[in-house]
Structure 1
Amino acid sequence: MTPDLLIQNGRVLDPVAGTVRTADILIRDGNIASVGTDVAASDVPTYDATGRLVSPGWLDMHVHLREPGFEHKETIATGARAAVKGGFTAVACMPNTEPAIHTRDVVEFVRQRAAETPITVHPIGTVSKERAGRSLAEMGDLAAGGAVAFSDDGAPVYDAGLMRRALEYSATLKRPIINHMENRALNPDGHMHEGSVSARLGIGGIPGLSEDVMVARDIELAAYTGGHLHVAHISTARSVELVRRAKAEGVPVTAEVCTHHLALTDEAVASSDFSTHTKMHPPLRPARDVDALKAGLADGTIDALCTDHAPHAPHEKEVEFTAAPFGIIGLETAWGLIGRELIAPGHLSVEEAVGKLTVAPRRILNLPAPTLDEGAPANLTIFDTDTSWTFSGDDIRSKSRNTPFVGAAMQGKAWAVYTKGTLNICDEA
């Protein structure tokens, strides 16, 4: 524990005000005691943040921690270490576990396990019982137990009537419905994006249309019910345009994008010689879609950045491409890819990028954003945008290792996080 700490000479970034100023932050008993220049405190340990930025702690609102039921892939403890390595002080975890997070006792189990970790974990409950898509889960009870949203992620909510009722409950419970945007009738045998690359490689494709039609349906349902629809891992240009139009019409819809969908295209499947680490859901799309995602982030259509951190054990991924499960890990590479793909090219300022990791995801989940106000609990990420580095296997803290980014160049690095009264050095997680 480091309940008392003086962070010196950092560039303190306030994503709400959009300001950056050089200042010291004094922490007493885990709370911010003062923020200013030349803060004096000889009786506490210090952290020299010269040349680094200090912001409110980052939240990844879309991760898979696999526990309970799939601990061979990841546990809440190992996922928390990966989060710290990546600079996150909090995550929201998806409910496709075994049992699924479809009853209050499972929500409370996750929260109890997470209490033993250095980060905060916000469970997401299911929309339907057992994620089977037949009847609604006890959404009110899940919310009372601490569920911050509802999703059957990994399985779309096909039944429009069920989705309508879920959105009606969303409006009452003030929690978003996060649908897995895919109509699988349009891609029953797909393994990558349907297009020229899949045709050349002879692999069954997943058309962008399968995402677009589900996004369009759910926007109409959200407009009708007034429930909050959140579009998970948006990946197509058409879906971005649908969300943009819906927002302009006042529909309560928000969206997130994964860092890997900003960094790779479907050509990665070919260039990697069918590496299963390039197989994810939704699949990697063509460059025109990647460009649209970046434009959607820049104009505010896409609210939040996330990873869809999806660990799979080596023996599950070390098979032929069409037999492998979808998904990659992402917590450890998130900021390096954001710096490389968004900040360095000028698509987002550092203030905007941090806002999409701090304020936006918490606003979507109706969570209070950490502040830099005196007296507030210290919840901070210390990072930079300048460090160029190469991601290696030694940087992986997840229990699984399924990532296409080993050996990839990164721009910007997370150095430390402070939360729960403790300073954690990212590289020592």
Structure 2
Amino acid sequence: MEQEQKRLLIRGARILNPARGEDYIGNILISGDRISAVSENLYDADAEVIEAKGLTAVPGFVDMHVHLRDPGFTDKEDIYTGCRAAAAGGVTSLLCMPNTKPAVDTPETVRYILDKAKTADAHVYVAAAITKGLKGEELCDLEALHDAGAIALSDDGRPVIDTACLVKALCEAPKLHMRVTAHCEDLFLAKKWVMHEGEISEKLNLPGVPAAAEDCGTAREIAAAAAYDVPVHICHVSTATSAALIRDAKARGVKVTAETAPHYLLLTDEALEKHDADYRMNPPLRSEKDRLAMIEAVKDGTIDVIATDHAPHTPAEKADFLHAPNGSIGMETSFAAAYTALVKTGILTLTELIEKMSVRPAELLGIEAGAIGAGEVADIALIDEHEAWVVDPEKLHGKSCNTPFKGMTLTGRVKATVCGGRVVFNEL
């Protein structure tokens, strides 16, 4: 006899479903890993109940840019702890980057990640390496990586140095229904830097990386995508010029999409005056002009997606300001930081923010996510959009605590997360 599926009833929430233009108060019934019904008057006496009055139910967030550090760097993070942090931030699906040890450049490593992630608190998807060893020179066997389960391609952490390799990947990826996500950086312009090159770096007498390093990389990727009429997704956009290049390319019909991260919307290079390596990331925090340009690019649709570039490092690594590795964590704070920067300020509506954090990234990755409705996978975040809270690194759920939002008061908080019908986070 078939075992009866466990049922969960989310009762009395504001249901915000941008994919279908829906916004109403109602109940969501979940059976197993799927939503079985959604309506204003729904009851199941045998279901476990989550009372959600005063909260908003949104499709679980999809983070297109995450470093889980597994395999090889599990002192910083691993698949399980990374997914715990994801759950605490309402992230139910994530794309993990390939700069692990070994790099995700073989089918075996792809399968290792997917197998380990089966019991994690979020759906893990894999971006496999474009080039062997992430050296930017020799193309991986892209078809084999696809067949092992990878859905995207990236050398993130570094650009693909050999433009011929980049073009081959851009042309091959659509045939495999994969997306290339590009780290845009000219390494000849980016040498031994600590922060963004500008007035603050001069004031602090610290070596800087010019915005041109990112801009030249962005221009190359756009030119390649335009010349071969193929898609490219630009990672972690941080400069005004890169945003302008992407905006112009979209207007010309180039198949380019782009993401930025919450820290580029809230913070600038002035944070580096604290000499705290938690504010060091790549690309670096930029000028106020760039921050305002990012907000405008999000507002006008130049930027399609808000992603985190979640990059954990140990406290010991981050203790040395001048020599610390770049990167900051972000999944647990992503909604609150983006809400504070964009919705609280009236730049976006909550619906528009959810589109950029859930609906659009799901579309770009071609995964089943981003919607609330009967038959859909039961991935839901319950949020209190009005709760203000102070970010305490010691209370976060991942292994590392290198958040640039520490001590900040943010508005909007994830209160519970359901992933595949399972309650993976609950602070109600």
1:78 paired with 2:59, answer no
Aligned to 1:337: 337
| 217-226 or 63-72: bigger deviation | 217-226
Paired residue type of 1:152: D
Shift of 1:227: 2.2
- Conserved? CA contact 1:19–1:351, under 8 Å: no
CA distance in 2, matches of 1:318, 1:427: 32
Q: Which moved more, 1:397-406 or 1:407-416?
A: 397-406
User: Equivalent residue for 1:211?
Assistant: 214
Contact 1:266-1:283 at 8 Å conserved across structures = yes
Task: Kindly report which structure 2 residues correspond to 1:310-349, keeping only aligned pairs within 5 A, or say none.
Answer: 310-319=311-320, 321-349=321-349
Partner of 2:138: 135
- The letter of the residue matching 2:368 is P
Q: Please say if residues 85 and 427 of structure 1, whose CA atoms lie closer than 8 Å, have aligned partners that are also in contact.
A: no
SS of 1:91's partner is: strand
Q: Distance between the aligned counterparts of 1:156 and 1:375, measured in 2?
A: 40
Aligned-partner residue type, residue 238 of structure 1: T
1:297 aligned onto 2:314:
no
Equivalent residue letter for 1:184: L
Cα pair 1:86 1:426 within 8 Å, conserved: no
Q: 1:176 aligns with which of 179, 182, 196?
A: 179
Alignment of 1:251-400 (within 5 A): 251-270=254-273, 272=274, 274-319=275-320, 321-400=321-400
Amino acid at match of 2:402: N
- Equivalent residue runs for 1:55-204 within 5 Å: 55-204=58-207
Q: Residues 314 and 400 of structure 2 are in contact (CA less than 8 Å); yes or no, is this contact kept in structure 1?
A: yes
CA distance in 2, matches of 1:393, 1:171: 40
The two structures have a TM-score, normalised by structure 1, of 0.96
Q: Is the contact between residue 33 and residue 374 of structure 1 (CA under 8 Å) also seen in structure 2?
A: yes
Aligned residues: 425
Pair 1:41-2:44 in alignment? yes
CA distance in 2, matches of 1:283, 1:370: 30
Give the share of equivalent positions with the same residue, in percent.
38
Distance 1:18 1:290 in 2: 30
Q: 1:370 to 1:263 in 2, by over 3 A?
A: closer
Residue 265 of structure 1 deviates from its aligned partner by 0.2
Letter paired with 1:341:
A
Q: Distance in 1 between matches of 2:425 and 2:221?
A: 42
TM-score by length of 2: 0.97
- Is the contact between residue 394 and residue 401 of structure 2 (CA under 8 Å) also seen in structure 1? no
Structure 2 unmatched ranges of 5 or more: none
From 29, 32, 36, give the equivalent of 2:32: 29
Would the aligned equivalents of 2:230 and 2:255 in 1 still touch at CA under 8 Å? yes
Q: Deviations over 1:296-349 (max 9, x none)?
A: 111111000011010011111111x22110001111111111111111001111
Determine if contact 1:3/1:422 at 8 Å carries over to the other structure: no
State the partner residue of 1:406: 406
Cα deviation for residue 4 of structure 1 reads 0.6
1:144, distance to aligned residue in structure 2 (A): 1.4
Return the alpha-carbon distance in structure 1 between the equivalents of residues 171 and 45 of structure 2: 55
1:176 and 1:227 in contact (8 A); partners too: no
Instruction: Give the Cα separation in 2 of the matches to 1:245 and 1:2.
Output: 51
The aligned residue for residue 52 of structure 1 is 55
For the residues of structure 1 that align with 2:370 and 2:378, how far apart are their CA atoms?
Answer: 8
Assess if the C-alpha contact under 8 Å between 2:18 and 2:371 holds in 1: no
One-letter identity of the residue aligned with 1:374: A
Distance 1:309 1:65 in 2: 8
Counterpart-to-counterpart distance in 2, 1:3 and 1:420: 12
Q: Which deviates more from structure 2 when the two are superposed, residues 355-364 or residues 61-70?
A: 355-364
- Contact (CA 8 Å) 1:87, 1:426: kept in 2 or not? no
Cα deviation for residue 158 of structure 1 reads 1.7
Q: Using a 3 Å threshold, how does the CA distance of structure 1 residues 333 and 371 change in structure 2: closer, same or farther?
A: closer
